[in-house]
A and B are shown apart, each in its own frame.
Chain A
Amino acid sequence: KAGVTQTPRYLIKTRGQQVTLSCSPISGHRSVSWYQQTPGQGLQFLFEYFSETQRNKGNFPGRFSGRQFSNSRSEMNVSTLELGDSALYLCASSFERGDTEAFFGQGTRLTVV
């Protein structure tokens, strides 16, 4: 059974640009969540999608957005990149209920220069 796949693994962008990250969840999982991991702030929740609907959103500016497709694949987009957006972005997939574990991808390392 394939795990959570995130692409690309590494990305370098310039300030002001936008970026799109992709996440393919485990087959059968309908919930996809995104997290930002930085040395200073740790792991922070960005948003969660279930059946193409955003159910939960963290405290991030509107420059961070996401979507989920009918096959449960998800993308997140960051517009007008800032240096502080440099981070490891992790995607997690799970079944609907919160009592099951989230399976994490290997992440996308975004560097903004």
Chain B
Amino acid sequence: AQSVTQLGSHVSVSEGALVLLRCNYSSSVPPYLFWYVQYPNQGLQLLLKYTTGATLVKGINGFEAEFKKSETSFHLTKPSAHMSDAAEYFCAVSDYFNKFYFGSGTKLNVKP
């Protein structure tokens, strides 16, 4: 069975600081991993995904994530936070039939 754990329901960083959002997964099969972002009253927008191949995945808006099988982790990072990055971020793992298992989300606050 698949599951996702996101450590930290709220993360606060200063503008220009490193963003690190943590995600650990559990999967009985090779995982497909995703990070989505959600702005208030909006749907989910894909930031990046890992399926196969290179373990360091680059996404939109300067975000990237590294798949570490030995640690069952897929942490999201961005070198320098911007005010517009303030949103809720969801890590997810999917199975073959497009069933996504989402983490509980991490709200990112960016302080000026």
A residues at B contact (CB < 8 Å): 4, 6, 31, 33, 35, 42-43, 45, 48, 50, 55-56, 88, 90, 92, 94, 96-99, 101-107, 109
Q: How far is A26 from B98 in the complex, measured between Cα atoms in Å? A: 15
Are B43's CB and A102's CB within 8 A?
A: no
B74: Cβ under 8 A from any A Cβ:
no
Are A98's CB and B94's CB within 8 A?
A: yes
- In the complex with contacts A43-B90, A90-B44, A109-B41, A101-B97 CB distance below 8 A: no
Q: For residue B68, give the distance in angstroms from its CB to the closest CB of chain A.
A: 19
Q: For residue B89, give the distance in angstroms from its CB to the closest CB of chain A.
A: 12
Q: How far is A57 from B6 in the complex, measured between Cα atoms in Å? A: 24
Q: Which of B45, B98, B101, B104 has the most CB of A within 10 A?
A: B98
Residues of B within 8 Å of A96, CB to CB, are 98
Q: How large is the interface on B (under 10, 10 to 19, 20 to 34, 35 or more residues)?
A: 20 to 34
Are A107's CB and B34's CB within 8 A?
A: no
- In the complex with contacts A103-B46, A107-B42, A109-B41, A48-B105 CB distance below 8 A: no
Are A99's CB and B32's CB within 8 A?
A: yes
Q: How far is A87 from B103 in the complex, measured between Cα atoms in Å? A: 17
Are B43's CB and A33's CB within 8 A?
A: no
- In the complex with contacts A98-B94, A99-B32, A109-B41, A45-B99 CB distance below 8 A: yes
Residue in A55, A56, A98, A104 whose beta carbon sits within 8 Å of that of B43 in the complex: A104
Residue in A43, A55, A103 whose beta carbon sits within 8 Å of that of B102 in the complex: A43
Q: For residue A49, give the distance in angstroms from its CB to the closest CB of chain B.
A: 10
Are B99's CB and A48's CB within 8 A?
A: yes
Q: How far is A103 from B100 in the complex, measured between Cα atoms in Å? A: 12
Residues of A within 8 Å of B104, CB to CB, are 42
